[in-house]
Structure 1
Amino acid sequence: MKERNYHYGIDLLRIVAMFMIVVTHVLAQGGIRKEVEGTFDLYYFVTWLLQIAVYWAVNAYALISGFVGHRSRYRYSKIIELWLHVFFYTFLFAVGFTVLGKELSLTDWRNALFPILTGKYWYVTAYFGLLVFMPLLNLAIERISNRDLGRILVIAFVGFSLVPALFNNSIDEFALDRGYSSLWLILLYLTGAYLARKDLKKLPSNRILFLGYSLTVLVSFALKSVVGNIWFWYTSPTMILGALCIFIPFARMKITNVKLQAFIKVVAPTTLGIYLIHLNPLVVRFLLRDFAKPFTNLPILAFLGMILGASAIIFALSSMIDWLRLKLFDKLKVKGLSELCDQHFPYDVKD
């Protein structure tokens, strides 16, 4: 496969970012953040430095969408495929936990049957909004110069990110909701597309970018503590800069190791499934809620090791489950069936 069609560095970033997302959920849903809150001891500092150090991942994942998506041919079947992917897990877990004797409410079943519209996975719901408008965004990206796109993005991030953070003031009218919104994903999508059209070799070296990322972690931690939580939100200027500092090295990475290429090709397609599995509301309620609280009773190095180890186990198990789901969908020809929509409703751009 030609590299212009398959970017190993970007798909490796997809894998790394999803592992970091799992770490954030072990800290949050696992109960560690709540357990150390207000203690201001070594466990508090390690927890929050780690939380901030991995929080760039969601922004980076959204940047990937624009980096690769703006070149892709738009298909309405993408919406169907996303819906089926999400529904598969929400319905499967609802049935599975019912069989195991867990009591589910009517609201649980409603959420299982209409997972995207009920917002049980905030990223998928926000991404659905992005997906609907993606053809219009791609058309605009194609027509606008990179210089003007860059200027628009600077204005957007100054107004939507920098100024609100400096004044510690969330502007509700922008409807950014701390970054849990379609609008925020749209801005990151446009940023990813902008980076795809830049000569990334001319940007700062990886060493400088890593130092920059390290600085954003320390600044985010300090300003969160002194100013407010707005510096910890996805829309925080330091969170955006941190994501860019991680994103750029992967975007210009050349991977030639055959074994690593094979690993990436197997695991990268399962990353969304990893998110859908471990953050399923019922999985969180019945399996993950506060499971990691006892980690805080361990020595500090063991504490850190247990967080990363638990995250690795959740990541690996979820990846294997979604790999099986991919095989099942292939057997059932789900992709081909969803693409029937494209035959009847082809997307076409007039010259």
Structure 2
Amino acid sequence: MSELVKDESTKMKISSHRPVRNSSVELLRIIAMFMILAHHFAFHNGIDVNQLPLGPEKIFYELVMLGGGKVGVVIFFSISAWFLLDKTQHVKTNLRRVWIMERELLFWSLLLALGYLAFDYPDLGIKQLIKSVAPLTMSVWWYATAYAIFLAVLPFLQEGLRALGRRMHLTLAMIMLVVWGLTSFIPKTLGNSALQGVFGFFYLFVLISAYKWYMKPLTLKHTWAMLGIGVGFFLLYTGASVVLGLHGINKGIFISHDYSLPVIMIGFGMFLLFDRLNFHSRIINRIAKSSFAVYLITDYAASEKLLWVRLFNLKDLYGQPFSILRIYGILLAIYAVCTLLDFVRQALFAVTVDRNRGHWFELLWGWTSPRVERLVSGNGNDASAMGQRENQVQLQENR
């Protein structure tokens, strides 16, 4: 997986001196990214799956592929959020995470832009080419930009939630569940219009932190019950979609919209199930390190057109024998190729920028932080003290 998730890696102890990632959760990370890839196939395809004739394939595309991608995003973020909660967050540490993540974003955005430019690819466009120079600030990938903003705000968010205490925090979580969770069942309300991007991450973080800090862990039986309820709502809305389709109304499965309550129940429930297991596999951990690269490569705007409109358009697969199996075979092949490409990227980074990882950030931080503190406090001594505290924290977190 990418630098984005390295710092929030899931760990189990096999000895007091050698921590390794829990491969069960790393496997779930791979599965989540594959669900997101399948969603992108259906969502960005040259054919609008909502307009397909009613039938088993249409239901599968909408329920499993489109809905599954929303669940995948919840899972992917939940893994990071869960392990971020294990330690106190600091401004410097999180900005360093963003800095390191930006290197990977810049690598892929420039490489993809230059590659498409070299082959005179018509769907690149001058706008996309310009945006590729600054992928994080220009939101080439929405998840990366939203996650960077979340990391920058996280130290203040975490400290504020801690200051609320158990009662106020749980009350806030309940209010958010009512405002955004329950209204997500109703079209055109806060549940699916105002809650987007980074605000979705804030919403999930408040819920996950309330559960981890203050609630008794769900039993296996209760976890399966939560999953079952979430799946039940998906099936209920699928049935409603089928009935509407029989009357010529193709609205899709509304319940699979971003951060709807059933999506959260399924996504977080799956995380809790996988987190219960503990095993170690170097192969799984190795593949998981490149999961974010699969997203970066395939969700680049020009790549979307190349993959899902030109090469693997659903019009050439829909209605064919074993079409769903063929689609999943294609997606597995794409996942494998992207993973191998990222192995090359990791090898290049190992002998170049990762040899002194974060060095330029340290220099920039050392120059800017005292000046920023002077503007805030007007006290040079406070600035010096702040810099010393941040450096101590950084040393303790095993740069």
Deviation at 1:120, TM superposition (A): 2.5
TM-score (norm: length of structure 2): 0.75
Residue by residue over 1:180-217, the C-alpha shift from the partner in whole angstroms, topping out at 9 and shown as x without a partner, is 31111112123333444455353535644553343133
Deviation at 1:270, TM superposition (A): 1.0
Structure 1 equivalent of residue 113 of structure 2: 94
Structure 2 equivalent of residue 236 of structure 1: 260
Bigger RCO of structures 1 and 2 (CA < 8 A, at least 6 apart)? 1
Q: Tell me the SS of whatever aligns to 1:189.
A: helix
Task: Give runs of aligned pairs for residues 206-217 of structure 1, distance below 5 A.
Answer: 207-217=224-234
Question: What is the aligned counterpart of 2:205 among 165, 189, 204?
Answer: 189
Structure 2 equivalent of residue 61 of structure 1: 76
Structure 2 equivalent of residue 81 of structure 1: 100
Which AA in structure 2 matches 1:235?
Answer: Y
Question: What is the aligned counterpart of 2:318 among 286, 296, 299?
Answer: 296
Question: What is the aligned counterpart of 1:219 among 231, 236, 245?
Answer: 236
Deviation at 1:149, TM superposition (A): 2.7
Q: Distance in 1 between matches of 2:169 and 2:156?
A: 15
- Equivalent pair of 1:178/1:234 in contact (CA under 8 Å): no
Q: What's the RMSD between the two structures over aligned residues?
A: 3.0
Deviation at 1:158, TM superposition (A): 1.2
Question: What is the aligned counterpart of 1:12 among 20, 27, 33?
Answer: 27
Which shifted more, 17-26 or 62-71?
Answer: 62-71
CA gap 1:10/1:223 in 2 versus in 1, 3 angstroms: farther
CA gap 1:118/1:333 in 2 versus in 1, 3 angstroms: closer
CA gap 1:187/1:348 in 2 versus in 1, 3 angstroms: farther
Structure 2 equivalent of residue 42 of structure 1: 56
- Equivalent pair of 2:12/2:278 in contact (CA under 8 Å): no
| Identity value in percent | 17
- Equivalent pair of 2:180/2:195 in contact (CA under 8 Å): no
- Equivalent pair of 1:17/1:60 in contact (CA under 8 Å): yes
- Equivalent pair of 1:200/1:252 in contact (CA under 8 Å): no
- Equivalent pair of 2:234/2:256 in contact (CA under 8 Å): no
Question: What is the aligned counterpart of 1:140 among 120, 145, 160?
Answer: 160
- Equivalent pair of 1:122/1:180 in contact (CA under 8 Å): no
Deviation at 1:266, TM superposition (A): 0.2
- Equivalent pair of 1:234/1:240 in contact (CA under 8 Å): no
- Equivalent pair of 1:12/1:264 in contact (CA under 8 Å): yes
- Equivalent pair of 1:21/1:55 in contact (CA under 8 Å): yes
Q: Distance in 2 between matches of 1:54 and 1:12?
A: 16
Which AA in structure 1 matches 2:354?
Answer: V
Deviation at 1:146, TM superposition (A): 4.7
5+ residue gaps, structure 1: none
Which AA in structure 1 matches 2:197?
Answer: S
Which shifted more, 79-88 or 138-147?
Answer: 138-147
Question: What is the aligned counterpart of 1:23 among 38, 61, 69?
Answer: 38
Indicate the structure (1 or 2) with the bigger Cα radius of gyration: 2
TM-score (norm: length of structure 1): 0.85
- Equivalent pair of 2:50/2:62 in contact (CA under 8 Å): no
